[in-house]
Structure 1
Amino acid sequence: MAETIDLCHRTTEAAAAQIVRDGRFLTRENSREAFSATHVDGQAEGCGAAIVHVRIDQA
C-alpha cells in the first residue's frame, strides 16, 4: 500500500469552493504552479482563510 502525503493550500473561500467544484487549481498568473504546505499554520497564513486539503500518493 502506498503511503500518502497531506498538503494544505490556503486561499479565499470563493477560490476554495471553485477548487473543490472543478477539481483543479487555477492561479491568478495562469501558471501551472499551486503552492501548498505540509502544515496548516505557519508562513502561509497570510494567503487566505480557507484551506484545501489534498492527499496524494507518495511516488
Structure 2
Amino acid sequence: MNKQSFVESMKPFLSEKFVYSEELFGKEKVVYIQHENLVYRLMRTRNGKLILNK
C-alpha cells in the first residue's frame, strides 16, 4: 500500500494534522519537540523504531 492510499484509508481515524516521520526527521536521527514548558527528544533508531524521551 502506498502512502497516499494509506492516508486515505485512515482518514476517518486521523486527527486534522498528519505528519510523515520522513518529513519530520529529514536526514536527522533526532528531533526536539517543545510541549508546554518541556522539551522532548524524538529519536529514530537503526531498526526504524521511534523513541520519545523527556
Q: TM-score, normalised by structure 2?
A: 0.25
Specify the structure having the higher radius of gyration (Cα): 2
Higher RCO by CA contacts (8 Å cutoff, separation 6 or greater): 1
Higher normalized helix content (fraction of residues): 2
